[in-house]
Amino acid sequence: MNAPRLEVAPALWTAVLAHLRQQGAGVRESGGFLLGQIHSGVRVVTGFLPYEQLQADALQADFVHLSGASFSRLWDYCATHGLEVVADVHTHRYGAGQSRSDSENPMLAIAGHVALIVPDFAQGPTGLDHLGLYVYQGSHRWARYRGAVVAQVLKFTPPEGER
């Protein structure tokens, strides 16, 4: 399976990284859902919904944990705003590899779901080629992409008025 293409405005991506950096404070994981639309296989990110807005204690453990009620809130939010979950994104302490918990517990256990991992709790400069991009295949199997491939499929797009 080829890596899916994601498009995001540079200002939004910068804001997502800033939120992850601040929320994790260099000591814990943080994350959220990238929301938008999927058009002809291209995932266009137009918003970000942090995990802690769905569940106040989502980041209290050494890993991200969301209850079933949080997913009800996620689906309600998406329906109200006409959005889809395009991907999820979260940080790790060191590299951008998936943990065993990540691979065994996808945020959305739907084939084709995309998960991004930002290394170093998003504390330093994070080039796209430093991210991990994972596509859920079902049955706890993932396609894994790292390095230059991620930089090729995650594209920055101009703001709406400049297209």
How many domains does the chain fold into? 1
Q: Report if pTM > 0.75.
A: yes
* Residues 85 and 51 sit within 8 Å (Cβ to Cβ): no
Q: Would you say residue 103 lies in a domain? A: yes
Q: Would you say residue 159 lies in a domain? A: no
Q: Would you say residue 140 lies in a domain? A: yes
Q: Would you say residue 160 lies in a domain? A: no
**If you compute the radius of gyration of the chain from its CA atoms, what whole number of angstroms results?**
15
Q: Would you say residue 66 lies in a domain? A: yes
What percentage of the chain has pLDDT greater than the value 90? 67
Strand partners, 6: 43, 154
Q: How far apart are CA 81 and CA 79, in angstroms?
A: 6
Q: Would you say residue 150 lies in a domain? A: yes
Q: Which CATH number goes with the domain that contains 16? A: 3.40.140.10
Q: Which of 45-59, 125-139, 142-156 has the lowest mean pLDDT?
A: 45-59
Q: Which domain covers residue 110, as residue numbers? A: 6-154
pLDDT in tens, 91-137: 999 899 999 988 998 989 999 999 999 999 999 888 999 999 999 99
Q: Would you say residue 1 lies in a domain? A: no
